[in-house]
Amino acid sequence: MKKALWIVGAIVVIIGFCLGLLYHDAMGYKRSQATIAKNEVLKHYDVKKVKNVSAFHGDVPYQVVDAVQNSGEEVYIMIPDKKSKAKAQVIPANTGYTKKEILAAFKSHVSYRSIVSTQLGMVSGNPAWEIVYKDNENRFVFSYYNFNNGDSLSDPIAIQ
């Protein structure tokens, strides 16, 4: 009996170690892409502080860099994946809806069960808010809204 417990314990430890390595490897790529984008922004743009870097995976993958320029203006710098032909864009934060504003507008117009995530990205070369939520039928729904005016960019896409 003791031998069986030791074998089960060893298997659990080995599986845990393998899962840890897999997670570390997967997150390493994500961290490296964010670090590359941050370094590019600090080197090529008039930025004094990078507040956050997040990945957006639309038609063209982007690293979305939330930064503060030396002038004090908050900007979003969209750094496209190196494999794409898209160009980086600097978007002043004050020219569009904030995350808080787009969520307030969303909540007042859409029936939903829960909001899963909200992030800024690029849709057809234009800045847009992506809101992922669960609808009343418990489906995941992706909705996109124009960053500048809050207009819906497409019919929501529901996934079972």
Q: Is the pLDDT of residue 29 over 60?
A: no
- Quickly state the pLDDT bin for 27 (edges 50, 70, 90): low
> What is the percent of the chain where pLDDT is above 90?
56
Residues 115, 95: Cα–Cα separation, whole Å: 25
Q: How many residues does the chain have?
A: 160
pLDDT, tens digit, 9 for 90 and up, residues 108-129: 989 899 999 999 999 999 999 9
Q: Is the pLDDT of residue 99 over 70?
A: yes
Domains identified in the chain and CATH numbers: 2-95 (3.10.450.40), 99-159 (3.10.450.40)
- Angle (nearest 5°) at CA 123 between 122 and 129: 65
Question: What are the E-state strand segments in the chain?
Answer: 47-57, 61-69, 74-80, 89-92, 114-123, 126-134, 140-146, 157-159
Residue 160, judged by CB atoms within 10 A of its CB (0-12, 13-18, 19+), counts as exposed
pLDDT, tens digit, 9 for 90 and up, residues 41-85: 889 999 999 999 999 988 899 999 999 999 999 999 999 987 788
